[in-house]
Amino acid sequence: MPPFNERIPIQVLVVDDSAVVREVMMAVLSQESDMAVTVAADPIIAMQKMKQVRPHVIVLDLEMPRMDGLTFLCKVMAEDPIPTLICSSVAARGTVACMRALHEGAVGIVTKPKLGVGNFLHESAVMLIDAVRSAAAARVHRRENFPVQCKPKPAASRISLAPIPEVAGRIVAIGASTGGTEALTKILTAMPKDSPGIVVVQHMPELFTAAFAKWLDNICQITVKEAEDGDAITSGRAFIAPGNRHMSVCRSGSQFRIQVTDGPLVSRHRPSVDVLFHSMARVAGSGALGIILTGMGDDGAAGLLEMRDAGAFTIAQNEATCVVFGMPKEAILRGAVCQTLPLESISGALINYGSHGTGISREHSIIR
């Protein structure tokens, strides 16, 4: 359960050495009736304030004096885990430090505002507010510190499958938000080289999606890249939607291809899972597998229902393994889900689909 209710506001602690950023964050978040905001110029001050009021969410810069944000994050996650969002110009550049922050327990990334309060875009404010609410609902656990290193791809597939045609016929679409980077890592690293083509929307700022895709490419047997307009979706490849752009799938003859477009927020997001899933229903129909993972809100629920109505097999991550059970829960409530599975079983379902064109046995359609 989230650590707040209607009578207790979400206690947000913004830790950033930039006075401008602190001002913007305070102005934007304090307008929300369910949020109370405190600011600190560095982690030392933050720890003093945390003794007085324990925050529900920390919004954390990575580059600060006296103690860097990553060291502070590791300390928090080891001693008293609190959902933490990384907000840093470092994050915007997609550096290794941000990947390390996610692996040390940060639940997401938000873009640091570059301008003053008056110029902070409405869409940016909406996404920041939603990210904070989602983080407040996240379940985080004590973690041990460990280094994150890229590993070379295995020389051979761990699972042998029959060849999968590269023509249209089997394609997988995955949507995720808060907690999704860890879930996607577990799923994609289990995929053999001849897996069906995979397209992914993970709610994440622009530029960082490229770094996430590159990091996954270094540790997966399949090829992973940030999607570009016109990319052909073939077996053994996964595409991550670029931050701040919508991604959809179109058909060119017998081939599926990616379309990357601008446009307004859909379901309060860009990229939106709904945009991807709606396109999958139109062009792939029963040849598709749709998977919705951890995240807050309802992005993807309507699109997944359309996929199921078009004959696709659909899977939702179960509550016990979600960081936030919002998106899967909403999809289940709408009747969009054929099967509910724990995270550790989803990669097996995907491999089974790639081999046979079906999910795990429909006789066991709900596994909690």
Please identify every residue annotated as catalytic: 177, 203, 299
Residue 145 CA from chain centroid, whole number: 22
Nearest to 74 by CA among 88, 59, 84: 84
Using CA atoms of 81, 83, 89, 90 in order, give the dihedral in degrees to the nearest 10. 50
User: Which helix (DSSP H) or strand (DSSP E) does residue 103 occupy?
Assistant: helix 96-103
Locus of tokens 């895709």: 213
Locus of tokens 């001050």: 45
- Decide if 183 contacts 343 (C-beta within 8 A): yes
Give me 162's structure tokens: 């029959």
| Helices and strands (H and E) in the chain: how many | 12, 14
Nearest to 285 by CA among 271, 316, 306, 265: 306
User: Which helix (DSSP H) or strand (DSSP E) does residue 252 occupy?
Assistant: strand 246-252
Give me 197's structure tokens: 């083509």
CB atoms within 10 A of CB 329: 21
Q: Measure the CA–CA gap between 221 and 75, rounded to whole angstroms.
A: 33
Q: Is 51 exposed, middle or buried (0-12, 13-18, 19+ CB in 10 A)?
A: exposed
Radius of gyration of the chain (CA): 20
Contacts by residues 248-255 (CB-CB < 8 Å, ≥ 24 positions apart): 248/275, 248/276, 248/278, 248/279, 249/171, 249/173, 249/199, 249/276, 249/279, 249/280, 249/283, 249/284, 250/279, 250/283, 251/168, 251/283, 254/167, 254/168, 255/166, 255/167, 255/168
- Decide if 351 contacts 320 (C-beta within 8 A): no
